[in-house]
């Protein structure tokens, strides 16, 4: 990390020239307008398309075309086993053992499936701790799981709120809430990175603290904004379960498939209720069409339907790129890139804004959330007209995410330049 950043454009060009990951940008389709490449800082919402994606999908279309149903066993990548091809790479991304991970379904579907198994309320212990203003899909999922078990969401859901005058949560405050409710909490369900503020939670400290309070507290994370953005060690941290989508930082296409983590300690636990289907059954007897569900060991045993080959093919293309680049190198560049953006934002002429994302690099990924004091939407619209794709959240937030795989320091410089003059 450089001692100091500089506002000179030449500094940005120099960082790009020495960036060991710079060639990865060529692997992506960069959206254009009037033949000009747009500055795309929306990889936290929908990641860009790898140029290799088409070939991965075409391979499956070709096998379907030529083999029909035979593709299940005789395709180049037999569909019967297709999820296996994703498991190891997906596990690396979140710091898990392969048997702890499976790719299937979509994110909110998985969140609901996992809560069926891991939210097991009792009359004494039925509460759920989550973030205030969690992503709406997570709010709705938790609210309805609570109702499904006959509890009142207003009573059962404990929301973590920042201190007066602060925008993000302090780990010690999260722990204090856990301690206060330690005898009635069944589940802690947080985002790994909050979608709105960009805050990365200390998942390890939160999980450890919760387990110290009571082994009956289950800890799960929604990693939609963490997977492919930050490094994690879910296995070592003793997280019970997690799920994430593949279309944000993981560049696997709109509505893409989802990843699931279930800690090894639950792998053989047959007493956990689960919603089940044939794909979670032991592969040796899956096509025998017999009575009696025999779950596969580990996360794969939570599968229900046969694999969605086309979105999984897109995901596979993207995971190959992550394997090649490596999360450590990506995070190293990400910290430089985001730090540079922060520096340029704070050292320009515009002062009518604040950054609510934590300034501590250990508490964020590559997103910065900028709160505008006035005319925020007008500034955002001007930036859009100037070829910058960022994200607007009512009432006053611009979210910007320079991602290390395909964004450049020069783009960050241009963004800041236009932001200060917009
Ligand atoms: C993006 C996102 C979702 C979206 O869920 P889908 O089921 O993929 O539509 C859910 N939760 C969080 C925290 C997200 O960031």
Best mutation site among 143, 223, 245 for ligand 1 pocket (most ligand atoms within 8 Å of CB): 245
CA distances from 353 to 40, 111, 152, 193, 350 (A): 21, 35, 39, 22, 8
- Helices and strands counted in the chain (H then E): 14, 15
Task: Show which of 323, 342, 365 is a domain's final residue.
Answer: 323
Helix (H) or strand (E) holding 39: strand 39-40
Task: Show which of 294, 323, 352 is a domain's final residue.
Answer: 323
Is residue 55 situated within a structural domain? no
Q: Are 96 and 237 in contact (CB under 8 A)?
A: no
143-188 residue pLDDT tens: 999 999 999 999 999 999 999 999 999 999 999 999 999 999 999 9
C-alpha of residue 72 to centroid of ligand 1, in Å: 30
My answer on whether 317 and 331 are in the same domain is: no
CATH number of the domain enclosing 205? 3.40.640.10
C-alpha of residue 259 to centroid of ligand 1, in Å: 12
My answer on whether 250 and 339 are in the same domain is: no
Q: pTM for the full model?
A: 0.97
CA–CA separation, 174 and 203 (whole Å): 11
My answer on whether 149 and 295 are in the same domain is: yes
**Residue 4: its pLDDT value, please?**
85
My answer on whether 163 and 294 are in the same domain is: yes
Q: Residue 364, SS3?
A: strand
C-alpha of residue 6 to centroid of ligand 1, in Å: 37
Q: Whose CA is nearest to atom 2 of ligand 1?
A: 224
Is residue 132 situated within a structural domain? yes
Task: Show which of 292, 323, 354 is a domain's final residue.
Answer: 323
Is residue 334 situated within a structural domain? yes
Q: Does residue 314 have its Cβ closer than 6 Å to ligand 1?
A: no
CA–CA separation, 300 and 280 (whole Å): 6
My answer on whether 22 and 125 are in the same domain is: no
Q: What are the residues whose beta carbons fall under 8 Å from the beta carbon of 372, sequence distance 6 or more?
A: 352, 353, 379, 380, 396, 397, 398
- 355 φ, ψ to 5°? -105, 120
Is residue 73 situated within a structural domain? no
Q: Does residue 311 have its Cβ closer than 6 Å to ligand 1?
A: no
Neighbours of 226 (CB within 10 A): 25
My answer on whether 313 and 333 are in the same domain is: no
My answer on whether 243 and 342 are in the same domain is: no
Q: What are 113's two structure tokens? A: 């499936």
**Residue 104: its pLDDT value, please?**
98
Q: What are the residues whose beta carbons fall under 8 Å from the beta carbon of 91, sequence distance 6 or more?
A: 97, 98, 100, 101
Best mutation site among 42, 47, 105, 108 for ligand 1 pocket (most ligand atoms within 8 Å of CB): 108
Q: Are 347 and 360 in contact (CB under 8 A)?
A: no
CATH number of the domain enclosing 353? 3.90.1150.10
Is residue 65 situated within a structural domain? no
Is residue 278 situated within a structural domain? yes
CA–CA separation, 403 and 29 (whole Å): 14
My answer on whether 371 and 318 are in the same domain is: no
Is residue 135 situated within a structural domain? yes
Q: Does residue 229 have its Cβ closer than 6 Å to ligand 1?
A: no
**Residue 83: its pLDDT value, please?**
96
Q: Does residue 224 have its Cβ closer than 6 Å to ligand 1?
A: yes
My answer on whether 341 and 305 are in the same domain is: no
Is residue 45 situated within a structural domain? yes
278-337 residue pLDDT tens: 999 998 887 777 888 999 999 999 999 999 999 999 999 999 999 999 999 999 999 999
**Residue 289: its pLDDT value, please?**
79
Q: Which domain holds residue 362?
A: 9-50+326-421
**Residue 422: its pLDDT value, please?**
84
Tally of domains in the chain: 2
Per residue, what are the HEC states of 159-227?
A: EECCCCCCCCCCHHHHHHHHHHCCCCEEEEEEECECCCCCEECCHHHHHHHHHHHCCCCEEEEECCCCC
My answer on whether 308 and 336 are in the same domain is: no
**Residue 157: its pLDDT value, please?**
98
My answer on whether 236 and 355 are in the same domain is: no
- For each of the chain's 422 residues, which pLDDT tens digit applies? 566 899 999 999 999 999 999 999 999 999 999 999 999 999 999 999 999 999 999 999 999 999 999 999 999 999 999 999 999 999 999 999 999 999 999 999 999 999 999 999 999 999 999 999 999 999 999 999 999 999 999 999 999 999 999 999 999 999 999 999 999 999 999 999 999 999 999 999 999 999 999 999 999 999 999 999 999 999 999 999 999 999 999 999 999 999 999 999 999 888 899 999 999 999 888 777 788 899 999 999 999 999 999 999 999 999 999 999 999 999 999 999 999 999 999 999 999 999 999 999 999 999 999 999 999 999 999 999 999 999 999 999 999 999 999 999 999 999 999 999 98
C-alpha angle 121/125/128, rounded to 5°?
70
- 311 φ, ψ to 5°? -65, -30
My answer on whether 148 and 210 are in the same domain is: yes
């Amino acid at each position: 990390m450089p001692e100091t950043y500089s506002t000179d454009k030449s500094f940005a060009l120099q960082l790009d020239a020495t960036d060991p990951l710079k060639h990865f940008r060529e692997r992506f389709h960069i959206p254009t307008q009037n033949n000009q490449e747009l500055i795309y800082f929306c990889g936290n919402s929908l990641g860009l398309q790898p140029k290799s994606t088409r070939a991965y999908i075409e391979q499956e279309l070709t096998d379907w075309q030529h083999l029909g149903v035979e593709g299940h066993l005789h395709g180049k990548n037999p569909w019967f086993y297709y999820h296996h091809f994703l498991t190891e790479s997906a596990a690396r991304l979140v710091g898990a053992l392969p048997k702890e991970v499976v790719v299937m379904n979509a994110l909110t579907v998985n969140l609901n499936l996992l809560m069926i198994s891991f939210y097991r309320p009792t009359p004494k212990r039925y509460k759920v701790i989550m973030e205030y203003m969690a992503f709406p899909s997570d709010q709705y999922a938790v609210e309805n799981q609570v109702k499904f078990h006959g509890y009142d969401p207003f009573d059962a859901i404990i929301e973590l709120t920042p201190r007066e005058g602060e925008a993000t949560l302090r780990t010690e405050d999260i722990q204090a809430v856990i301690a206060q409710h330690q005898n009635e909490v069944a589940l802690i369900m947080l985002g790994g990175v909050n979608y709105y503020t960009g805050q990365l939670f200390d998942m390890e400290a939160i999980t450890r603290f919760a387990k110290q309070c009571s082994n009956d507290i289950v800890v799960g994370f929604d990693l939609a904004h963490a997977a492919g953005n930050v490094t994690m060690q879910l296995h070592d941290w003793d997280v019970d379960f997690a799920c994430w989508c593949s279309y944000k930082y993981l560049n696997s296409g709109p509505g893409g498939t989802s990843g699931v983590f279930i800690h090894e300690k639950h792998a053989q636990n047959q007493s956990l209720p689960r919603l089940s289907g044939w794909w979670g059954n032991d592969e040796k007897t899956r096509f025998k069409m017999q009575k009696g569900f025999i779950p596969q060991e580990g996360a794969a045993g939570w599968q229900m339907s046969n694999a969605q080959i086309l979105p999984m093919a897109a995901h596979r293309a993207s995971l190959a790129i992550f394997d090649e680049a490596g999360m450590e190198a990506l995070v190293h560049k990400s910290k430089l890139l985001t730090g540079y953006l922060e520096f340029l934002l704070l050292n320009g002429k515009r002062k009518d804004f604040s950054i609510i994302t934590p300034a501590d690099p250990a508490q964020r990924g590559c997103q910065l959330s900028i709160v505008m004091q006035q005319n925020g939407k007008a500034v955002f619209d001007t930036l859009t007209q100037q070829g910058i794709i960022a994200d607007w959240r009512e009432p006053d937030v611009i979210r910007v995410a320079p991602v290390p795989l395909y964004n450049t320091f020069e783009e960050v410089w241009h963004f800041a330049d236009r932001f200060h003059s917009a």
